[in-house]
Amino acid sequence: LSVGSLTGLASVWASTLATQTMAEDVHWTVMVLTALAVGTAAGVVNGLIIAYGKVVSFIATLAMMIAARGLAEMISGRQTQVVSVDGFLDFFRADVIGVPVLVWIFAVVAVAGWFLFNRTTFGRRTVAVGGNLEASRLAGIKVQRHLLYVYALSGLTAGIAGVMMLGRTTAGTSTNGLYYELEVIAAVVVGGTLLIGGRGTIVGTVIGVLIFAMLTNVFTINNLSISAQNVAKGAIIVVAVLLQQRFARRSAST
């Protein structure tokens, strides 16, 4: 639940006057590293609270969602922080063989996620832990440490999203990533990942993201209000979950 707020916090922290000044004195990648560090650190905090503090993930990430958004507002003073570092702007506005850099970043992250999930021990352990914590523990997986790694990875990707948002909008604000947690859940569910855990694919999630991006564009072109868009997306989530449950019961019966 905290990924949207972490995206906003990362974008705000990376675009503060102090960070941008350092970026101009050293290199524009300072802004990128700052956003990634902020996202990862928040993810580690989530992981520690959930894995070692035994707090339910819903409550822990809900608390982080509120706290991260509040911290972003404090840092920015609820003001928009415009990016003025030329190197940063030039990089994220560039095209590679006619394709925007932001699209390439999305593709690289998706491919890296697919490889990690499908071709490494970490990915197989993630599926096992998501399916059954106790069985994973009995199988010799260090469940607590693995959960910490997973939440840290989630925070890292939220930091990447914050950087991409900075590159697209050229401004850091505490409202960046607002309600993105709902978009994320919707895309993952539509992509076939079970909310109860144990099954999911990166390819499915990417397809879910593209479906919702396409729907948002269609809604915008047809001048559908934000409220109506949220109602439609909420309905899609409910239908996707109902279909998941039906398929799960059918699989269990066979």
Residue 250 has pLDDT above 70, yes or no: no
pLDDT exceeds 90 at position 106 = yes
Quick check: 243 pLDDT over 80?
no
pTM, entire model: 0.89
Instruction: Provide mean pLDDT across the span 8-32.
Output: 94
Report the alpha-carbon distance of residue 13 to residue 201 in Å, rounded: 32
Strands (E), the chain: 81-82, 95-96, 99-100, 171-172
CA distance 69 to 212: 24
- Position with higher pLDDT, 42 vs 216: 42
Mean pLDDT for 84-92 is 92
pLDDT reading at 244 higher than 80:
no
- Tell me which range, 13-22, 129-138, 188-197, 207-216, is most confidently predicted by mean pLDDT: 13-22
- pLDDT of 105 > 90? The answer is yes
Handedness of CA 203, 204, 209, 213 (dihedral sign): positive
Mean predicted lDDT score pLDDT of the chain: 89
The answer to whether 174 and 69 are in contact (CB under 8 A) is yes
- Alpha-carbon distance 219 to 251, whole Å? 35
First to last CA, the chain: 34
pLDDT, tens only, 178-204: 888 888 888 888 888 877 666 788 998
Q: Residue 114 region, left (φ>0) first, then alpha (ψ -120 to 50), else beta?
A: alpha
Under the banding of pLDDT at 50, 70 and 90, the label for residue 253 is low
pLDDT of residue 254 exceeding 70, the answer is no
Residue 35 · residue 20 · CB < 8 Å: no
